[in-house]
Amino acid sequence: MTPLGLHHLMGWSHHYGPEPWTDIEGARPDWLPRYYHKASAYGIGFDRSETGSNAVEQYFSPVKELYNSPETCPENLLLWFHHLPWDYRLKSGQTLWNSIVYRYYAGVEEARHFQREWDRLEGFIDDQRFADIQFKFKVQTREAIWWRDACLLYFQTYSKRPIPAELERPVHDLDELKETKFEMLHHN
């Protein structure tokens, strides 16, 4: 859901499901996803380095220096501390865009793997328990696809980069995803 340090990508009032596009008039900026991902035609991420908000100053050496540089910042925190161009090269050699894409696709594949592994246990577990857990794995897989498509299609509107051809095409449409509403009357 939140590769490379991206975060706060969830829905406005429910925190359930992806809504990196959420923009509520009058809301505090730091309550909105855009404040944190800062996606633009240039790149993505929140610059907390010395040349940005300087949030790295909160850390003691050597951690401060580690986080301050994109070259040394752990990749799982990279976009938490840095706003980087879509074509920035990670240690793997992949561009930032492709790395984000492949990580969302890996999340879907992992959910599918769990579902397949569970399905192999049919007959070894009582029918009711098997069906209950199988249902949950199906939901997990469906929601991994939802997160993948919502985030990638949204960020693609800024990056203007393609999803690599060898990957399956998104099954959702961004405009339809933006119209998804939840009636969660008892959420809070």
- Residue-wise pLDDT tens digits, 92-147: 999 999 999 999 999 999 999 999 999 999 999 999 999 999 999 999 999 999 99
The answer to whether residue 172 scores a pLDDT higher than 80 is yes
Q: How confident is the model at residue 186 (pLDDT cuts 50, 70, 90)?
A: low
Return the residue matching tokens 């940005």. Answer: 52
The token pair that represents 108 in the structure block: 């879907």
3 state SS of 44: strand
CATH code: domain 3-46+83-178 is: 3.90.1330.10
In sequence order, the β-bridge partners of residue 89 are 95
Q: How confident is the model at residue 57 (pLDDT cuts 50, 70, 90)?
A: very high
Confidence (pLDDT) at 145: 97
pLDDT (tens digit per residue) in 11-27: 887 778 899 999 999 99
The domains of the chain are located at: 3-46+83-178
Q: Count other Cβ atoms within 10 Å, centred on residue 102.
A: 17
Q: How confident is the model at residue 181 (pLDDT cuts 50, 70, 90)?
A: confident
The answer to whether residue 187 scores a pLDDT higher than 70 is no
- Mean pLDDT of the region 152-158: 99
Confidence (pLDDT) at 11: 84
The answer to whether residue 175 scores a pLDDT higher than 80 is yes
3 state SS of 111: helix
Average pLDDT, the chain: 94
Of the candidates 1, 2, 5, the one whose C-alpha atom is nearest the C-alpha of residue 77 is: 5
Beta strands (DSSP E) in 3-157 are 43-44, 84-85
- Tell me the whole-structure pTM to 2 decimals: 0.92
The answer to whether residue 188 scores a pLDDT higher than 50 is no
H or E element that contains 112:
helix 96-119
Q: Is residue 150 within 8 Å of 18, Cβ to Cβ? A: yes
